[in-house]
Structure 1
Amino acid sequence: MDETTKREEPLPVQSKHSTPQSQLSPWCTSLFGDVFGVTLNVDDTSKRFLESTFTELVEEGLDPQFEESHADRIIIEYLTEVGNTNPFKWLRDCWVKVQQYKRTLKAKDPLRDEKLQVLEEIDRLTSNYGLVAFQIEDMFINGNIDTYLKDVIANDSLYSDFIIQILYHAHEEGTLLEFLNVFVVELAKEVSKIDFRDSHYQLVLNVFQLILSQKPVAAVFTQIDNFHAKEEVKPHRIETTTLLGPLFRLSPLQSTVSIALFDENTNSSSRKVKSVGESLQAEHKVLLERLFFITDKIIRGSEQSRNDLLKYFATIVNKNHLRRGDHADFSKLASNAFMTNISMVLIRLSLPFLDSSLTKLDKIDPNYFQNTHCLIDISEETRANATNAEANEYFEAHKIDKKPNFISDCFYLTLTYLQYGLGGLYISESKLDKLIKHLKSTVENLNRPISDPSNRLQMIQRMQLPALQKKLEQAKSEKNALTSFFIHRNLQLEIFDFIAGSSAFLVRTVEPTHLYPKTKLRLPFVPDVIGVENVDNSEHFREQAPVPYKYFPEFCVEGVINFVLSSCKFVANPMIRNSRLPSLMEFMLVFLRCPELIGNPHLKGRLVEVLSIGTYPMTDGTPGFMQDIIDTDPLLTDNLLYALLDFYVVVEKTGSSSQFYDKFNSRFHISCILEQIWKNSVYKRQLIHQSEHNEEFFIRFVARMLNDLTFLLDESLRQLQDVHAVQNELELRKQGGSNMDGTNEDLESRLSSAENQARADIQLANRTLDLFDMFTGEVPKAFIKPEIVGRLASMLDYNLEALVGPKCTELKVREPEKYKFNPKDLLLKICKVFVNLSSESDFTKAVANDSRSFKRALFNRAEDIIRRWGLSNEDFIKCLVTFADKAEETRIADEAEEQDLGEIPDEYLDPLMYTLMEDPVILPGSKVNIDRATIRSHLLSDSTDPFNRMPLKYEDVIPNDDLKQEILDWKRGKKANKSTDVNMTDA
């Protein structure tokens, strides 16, 4: 370094004191020798000789010994001429020795004040030059910020007091931000070089926590260079280009970490994988506590630092809404590690105002999204139960221009991260499951012997095997890391505390008085619509949705639902034995019971799936973790059954192109719930009440059950026939024969598809049959309404024939248990419905009138099977036989009556069923005459005129009393003629 460089700004720190040689000289000589390690005695080789100072003193005719005024000169000469491998460390060591001297000064020392003044001056100079060391890197010999920082990180406990002193002086002099722009930026770079496996990150975090424990630092921290994400930065680059990014991406969920630590090549046993997971869980929890400490200090630093940090978090999540997309490309989005850590920190920030007392819910502003200072971009978000245009119009008319309080900002930001931060984990898990399944299948196929060595394509594919195996192991490792997070019960409990508080807030927002939980809920909020044509009228309910909730982004509700659905599938389920579970249960009930609250039926579908899991018995045989609340909470016992039955009906229309199949999953889960709550007599009484006092609604419910069962049984048996046929064909080909077209690969694919579909359909059909068994036994009269009894009878007859008729052998498949197919059990369930309804004459008549499938011999065959296999007792068999006999007698009598009537005029025939009309009505649009029971049955599934597809309501049909009387007269005439003919024959 030349002389010019040494004289550049900033100038060396000037001493505040300049005193002549005094009685302190001997003490100063000793002090400076100990503190600075320097001497003016050329013969003293134990210390560094200061040649410049010595020469200067001699030229001035002074004794070559140190005075208190020499401190500044000593530091400058040492740092710029003598040199040290680490100037910053030397300054720290000097400062520490000064502190030791301060502690040893005796109170009775007559020169104590003068000595203390010298020590304070050295204290000030060393810390100020320490500040200069980070401002001008080449100010001192061997000056190197990277060297300084690495030593600070490695020995943070030794540097902590010195660093704090530097921060104090920087703040006092107004250069704090200038210092931090070097120190902290370089510190963050150290983290960006490592991942969670490298314990070095813990040392770096020590330094971050140290400096942020000083409020002046926290107050300006967000003003440091690179704190904010630039507007043009890509979502996946934020965690590497911003100041806090490298800290918040440290996690067991980092792909480099999961692949290295969960690699099944080195951790082959499940015990090892579990051990690795538990170790990472413990370390992750500590990391999150430290990240929270850092965040909390910035939040409390100043109003600007608080607002800036929340804005930073908001920018991240606003750029990552695609993380919940079905086709999300995670390579272009923020990582799971980064988003999860921020989510967990925000949850911890939110918990104080969402505690179990729920006394601070009124601090959260329900009008937040119409505030111009709202942090979250919801411009493209689906709304709870409104269109975006409606929401924008409302927000524009009710705009608020006032900075929200911290609680509101924090709460809604956390809700957003619940959806796009933690919510992205569920998407990742699903993608990994599919990828692992696909890779396993591919690897297995490639490991099979090559059928044709000359096939070049097969050889090329085989060469890809090592790469595919490596990719499979990596996918498994990443899946293990995700599972480790999902089963980390302590973290899941924290999330659930937020879920419980959020649930209570959402209920408070939609409840008309907005006083919940101080007041008890009264459901429904909007009176039920009684009437077949309105029960699933989404437009009607959208108009009734509460404001401003209806304009909320849908993710406010979806994030809560997604979490509970995901977490309840794991052993660390935070809802088990949790005192805050009732808050969630009330939320679930409210959003199931009140159709005006959710416009998306898929969300309700996830709610019933959670309830299904929550009511399913535990592995030890005890009731499900939600069962006790369902059985004892008055709000649930009064409303749950209706909510389930209502959704069973409404889910017929999901609005998607796959709505026909979507409904089956939801109805399966509803069936599971009903099976469990059926053990409670309260729900049985409610079912009877609904069937008697809400007939229109209950008929619709039964009709939907019947539609499902008809389709599922038909499809499952058809798929089993296909399985049977393909299995036989494959066996035949092994023997050299063939009856079908297509290659073996084609048949294997067809067999797999049929097996999967059969398994799903049979499981759903069994559940629906269980419902029929339960309900027909309790409220048989509800199943003999004219609109449904004929279809029910035909369905039962048809499936009885399929199970015991001539073609039943086509249902024989290998390993029937693989498809959940138990033909004897299925037969018994169908026969139970026959028996449950056997005392109803209308049902007996409907069975007898089924000319296509009813055959008395089928019941004889069913009787033999039930008795031979001991499926039921003799009383049951006797009841079944008696019913079959009555149905056969009715069939014979009806056939005789039909012969008596002869040919029926076309105008008396129902245009859809081609049977004699009993109560004809006129359709107002098409003007067609049709039987009342027929059109009512049609409207249960389709609210249009079957002849012109125009909208039609049941109450709009017009009774055709004239035609009805005409038909009655015709029948009487036919009977009278028959009677006359009989009398004449007898005569």
Structure 2
Amino acid sequence: MATLHDIFQVTTDPNDSRGLPHVESDELEVALCNGDVDALLLFQLTENPDLNKPFAYLNGCFLRCQQQKRLLKGQTSAGSLQPLFEEIDRLVIGYGLVAFQIENFCLNGDFNAYIDQIVKEVDNYTAFLSQLIQRATVEGTLLDLLETFFTSLLQYLTKTLPYFDLNDSATYNAVITLFEMFVSFKPVAAIFSQVSRFFGNFDCKANEFEKTTILGPLLTLSPLNPNVALKNYGENLERTQQQKNIIHESLQAEHKMVIDRLLFLSSTRCCGASPESRTNLMTYFAQIVNKNHLRRGDHANQSKLASNAFMSNISLLLIKFSQPFLDVSYKKLDKIDVNYFNNLNLFIDLSEETRVNSDFKEADEFYDKNKKDEDCKPNFISDCFFLTLTYLHYGLGGTLLYDEKITPQIKRLRQEIDRIKNLSQSQDMFASFATMQLRQMEKSLKITQGIKDALQGFFSHKALQLEVFDFICGASTFLIRVIDPNHEYPVKPIKLPLIPDQVGVENVDNADYLREHAPIPFKYYPEFVVEGPINYSLFISQYNSSPIFRNPRLHSFVEFATVILRCPELVSNPHLKGKLVQLLSVGAMPLTDDSPGFMMDIFETDELVNQNLLYAFLDFYVIVEKTGSSSQFYDKFNSRYSISIILEQLYERIPLYRKQLVWQSKNNADFFVRFVARMLNDLTFLLDEGLSSLAEVHNLQIEVDNRARGLPPAREEDERELRSKLSSAERQAKSSCGLADKSMTLFEMYSKDIPNAFTTPEIVDRLASMLDHNLESLVGPKCGELKVNDPQQYSFNPKALLKSLTTVYINLADDKEFVSAVARDGRSFNKELFQRAVRILARKIGLVSDEFCHKLLAFAQSAEEQKIAEEEEDLNYGDAPEEFLDPLMYTIMKDPVTLPTSKVNIDRSTIKAHLLSDSTDPFNRMPLKLEQVVPNEELRQRILEFRRQKRPAV
């Protein structure tokens, strides 16, 4: 039986000319003579000690049998051999199944060895494995085969191989090919999720899923894998950005190919096989993210959590799953259930999730009362959408947070390495110790810098990031739909505001009212549905390849941002709104060629945006005063800086917004005055802080220079403490001056077109005092203290600041109340300061025109005359009773009112000005609203009578 000899590669004839292995066995000889295939195979598999690779042998027998069939096809002998070939196929495939079910069935049986052979020669095994799958399907043992095969494959990938990652393309391509081949059979795909290692154990830790579940190793195939990052980036820390970009492009192409193949496996095959397998895949992803909420924690231990590679890959896959129902047509948007969180069985664990605008107790009561029936289960589209939002926050969101944290780590490592190098050079006794330390720290730097570069490559992958942002745009539209009381958006436009504006009441002090009127069910949504899209969009905007730039769907996100900012009842977290305005400021800033920012066209042409954005910014500018955190005093400046950038661009480039601003100042005066008061508060503080810090920088720089020249110290600090103080003062000066510059720009613009808003009784005196004080700082006797080395690094341009200050004087010069307010400023007003300002601006630097100078000097003269007149009037009123004097301003009251709790009498303009900054009684700190004060008509009449008596007779 030459055919049997050839197929089974064995002979009992020592003189066989074909060079086949010679085996001395009576059983084998009988089997070959009788053509007993079963006995022959049993001998080979169970008794032949020289057969070291039994599964490879079976695969070879199968392939040789197929080859014999092809060679004999069409020959007369083919028909007679057909039954033999069928018997060989039946037995070889049957024993192949047995070999993968009973490890010790074969004499040298070893599942791990089988997998190793298959992975290394995958193309050689696919035909045989396909037959095993089909046979197992017929025999009803398919799940047993999958159980053994994929459990063994998982063990091989995680315990046998040193690494399984993108560095070994041959191995990972072979493994993916195996998965693809298996799930290409629909019966396999239908039950694949029933394999015991598909899910993690109940007590599986957050960082164990990628090592203990079947899909885990595949889902870690990413450039973000530390081994991949180190090999591709970390070996050479001196690479140029251009060289890094070449590596980026190579890894991006490879990663995209992997993601596409994983998508085919998980979406096309597993999800499409059966509803059960689709549900199980979602359950698996949910199981992972539910145990990884700490990825967004400030002090999370990364080693105890799932890796960035793993979580980011799942995020990308889910985003691809969501694409069909979030396309620009939005035809399937209504398939996403707005009441999704009312379902009994949710994939997502919400037990510790902060809500958009409700507390835990209120949310739980709502869901308990409105739970859907057990048989009313959410559809796949809803499950997929909300799970994707969860991964956007904890998956990609955790990765970008890690990126933000790793940057200062690299900086500290480099500084420490430099310090140790200098120490070892100067002190021989530490040289050997330092060398050991350096070696370890330089290794850490390689790894950390490699991961940082890998993160940069990942987030600059425009094709993948574009898909992420497309999802965010679709999600933005859906979230507006949830907010819409009728849930009809975008088919029908949403009308804003949703509730009447609380003019005269600070929204931050009206939290209970806003929470009570927040829309249902949006108020009970977990906060991450809003936070995830905002965090990602702000983070990705820093990349030149950002998908936000010139994106045709960007208007969807800007509309969502507008709705959130315009309706204070929607989101209670001011930090999220702060991030939104920061992102919108990026879109408003002019481009490098001074053309409008990339969002400006949307700001101008989108009706939902242009009808609501200005009010939203003005309102948030005011209410961001109180963020609820311990650092709220400084938090507000960052948000207001961003808003100032946007307001400046809107005012200068889009006439519609200028008209809206003027309208607000005239028709919504109380609202607008609050905004101006906040601007004034900030500018007063920032200029004072900035100029004080510059004076400190000036003094410290002189001290440092003197010591460098060998002069004796004039201060007590040692060298290290001195430089530390200088660095601190420089940081404070740069921050305060930079922030003040934007506020000053708004003052200069707005005081020109809407001067009346700056001369109201509650504003004008404080404004005059601020301007006079800073004019004195810039041109007064101590102005030399502001001279520092390289003032530009502190965003300090004293000439430009002086021009801006004096421009505000000129813009308001025709208003009698402003002139009087400047004249009343006994602390800083001095006519000579204006004369010095003119000399500097006109004669020294030629920054202003003659007309400008004449107006400024004329204003100073008017204020001087008013000052003299008021001083004479004060002499007449010098004996006024103390009860006639305002207790805070010490001036005679014009419109006295009585405060309801402290019973103190105070001028209406004074308490009104106080309430613009602080909604409490200044004498007992009890809550106070302006409408609660009581006019004191009797006291007002007595004051009027006193004034009449003191008026000189004509």
With the shorter chain as reference, the TM-score category is: over 0.9
Residue 343 in structure 1 maps to residue 343 in structure 2: no
* Matched residue, 2:445: 472
Whether the 8 Å CA contact 1:264–1:473 is kept in 2: the answer is yes
2-structure distance, mates of 1:55, 1:485: 63
* Matched residue, 2:465: 492
* Matched residue, 1:792: 767
CA offset at residue 43 of structure 1? Answer: 4.7
Larger Rg: 1
- 1:161-560 matches, within 5 Å, as 161-192=127-158, 193=161, 194=163, 195-199=165-169, 200-263=171-234, 265=236, 268-296=239-267, 297-400=269-372, 401=374, 402-448=376-422, 453=427, 464-533=437-506, 536-560=509-533
1:94 is matched with which residue: 44, 61, 70? 61
* Matched residue, 1:622: 595
2-structure distance, mates of 1:512, 1:672: 33
Whether the 8 Å CA contact 1:190–1:204 is kept in 2: the answer is no
Residue type of the partner of 2:210? E
Whether the 8 Å CA contact 1:535–1:697 is kept in 2: the answer is no
The SS at the match of 2:762 is coil
Residue 756 in structure 1 maps to residue 731 in structure 2: yes
Whether the 8 Å CA contact 2:508–2:626 is kept in 1: the answer is no
C-alpha distance 579-970 of structure 1, shift in aligned 2 (>3 A): same
2-structure distance, mates of 1:596, 1:842: 38
- 1:727-746 matches, within 5 Å, as 727-734=701-708, 735-746=710-721
- 1:117-132 matches, within 5 Å, as 117-132=83-98
Residue type of the partner of 1:87? P
Whether the 8 Å CA contact 2:237–2:446 is kept in 1: the answer is no
* Matched residue, 1:685: 659
Summarize deviations over 1:379-415 as a string: whole Å, max 9, x none.
1111000001111111111122333211111111111
2:845 is matched with which residue: 862, 869, 881? 869
C-alpha distance 367-136 of structure 1, shift in aligned 2 (>3 A): same
* Matched residue, 1:699: 673
2:562 is matched with which residue: 581, 589, 594? 589
* Matched residue, 2:637: 664
C-alpha distance 266-671 of structure 1, shift in aligned 2 (>3 A): closer
C-alpha distance 807-264 of structure 1, shift in aligned 2 (>3 A): farther
The SS at the match of 2:897 is strand
Residue type of the partner of 2:825? D
Whether the 8 Å CA contact 1:532–1:700 is kept in 2: the answer is no
2-structure distance, mates of 1:603, 1:398: 28
- TM-score, with structure 1 as normaliser: 0.92
Residue type of the partner of 2:85? L
CA offset at residue 655 of structure 1? Answer: 0.9
The SS at the match of 1:921 is strand
Summarize deviations over 1:34-67 as a string: whole Å, max 9, x none.
433345767534245675457548xxxxxx8555
The SS at the match of 2:200 is coil
Whether the 8 Å CA contact 2:424–2:430 is kept in 1: the answer is no
Whether the 8 Å CA contact 2:507–2:568 is kept in 1: the answer is no
* Matched residue, 1:828: 803
Whether the 8 Å CA contact 1:532–1:696 is kept in 2: the answer is no
1-structure distance, mates of 2:357, 2:28: 85
Count of matched residue pairs: 940
The SS at the match of 1:341 is helix
- Bigger shift: 258-267 or 42-51? 42-51
* Matched residue, 1:71: 37
CA offset at residue 449 of structure 1? Answer: 5.7
The SS at the match of 1:756 is helix
Summarize deviations over 1:930-983 as a string: whole Å, max 9, x none.
0000000011111111112111111111111121111111111011xx338xxx
2-structure distance, mates of 1:289, 1:533: 51
2-structure distance, mates of 1:917, 1:266: 71
Whether the 8 Å CA contact 2:237–2:449 is kept in 1: the answer is no
Residue type of the partner of 1:623? P
* Matched residue, 1:159: 125
The SS at the match of 1:245 is coil
* Matched residue, 2:920: 944
The SS at the match of 1:577 is coil
CA offset at residue 196 of structure 1? Answer: 2.4
Residue 958 in structure 1 maps to residue 928 in structure 2: no
2-structure distance, mates of 1:286, 1:430: 27
CA offset at residue 142 of structure 1? Answer: 3.4
Residue type of the partner of 1:710? T
C-alpha distance 55-114 of structure 1, shift in aligned 2 (>3 A): closer
The SS at the match of 1:883 is helix
Summarize deviations over 1:204-229 as a string: whole Å, max 9, x none.
11112111211222222222232221
2-structure distance, mates of 1:264, 1:894: 77
- TM-score, with structure 2 as normaliser: 0.95
CA offset at residue 91 of structure 1? Answer: 2.1
2-structure distance, mates of 1:85, 1:462: 50
Whether the 8 Å CA contact 1:350–1:411 is kept in 2: the answer is yes
Residue type of the partner of 1:753? S
The SS at the match of 2:612 is helix
1-structure distance, mates of 2:449, 2:398: 18
Residue 885 in structure 1 maps to residue 861 in structure 2: yes
Unaligned regions of 5+ residues in structure 2, if any?
none
CA offset at residue 726 of structure 1? Answer: 1.2
1:897 is matched with which residue: 865, 869, 873? 873
Summarize deviations over 1:64-95 as a string: whole Å, max 9, x none.
8555xx33233223333445342222322332
CA offset at residue 674 of structure 1? Answer: 1.0
1-structure distance, mates of 2:16, 2:427: 86
1:775 is matched with which residue: 732, 747, 750? 750
Residue type of the partner of 2:472? I
Whether the 8 Å CA contact 1:492–1:572 is kept in 2: the answer is no
1-structure distance, mates of 2:37, 2:304: 57
Residue 912 in structure 1 maps to residue 888 in structure 2: yes
C-alpha distance 457-715 of structure 1, shift in aligned 2 (>3 A): farther
- Bigger shift: 37-46 or 629-638? 37-46
- Bigger shift: 588-597 or 463-472? 463-472
Residue type of the partner of 1:184? F
Residue type of the partner of 2:562? L
Whether the 8 Å CA contact 2:423–2:430 is kept in 1: the answer is no
* Matched residue, 2:617: 644
Whether the 8 Å CA contact 2:506–2:623 is kept in 1: the answer is no
Unaligned regions of 5+ residues in structure 1, if any?
1-28, 58-63, 981-987
The SS at the match of 2:906 is strand
Summarize deviations over 1:165-188 as a string: whole Å, max 9, x none.
101111211211222222111212
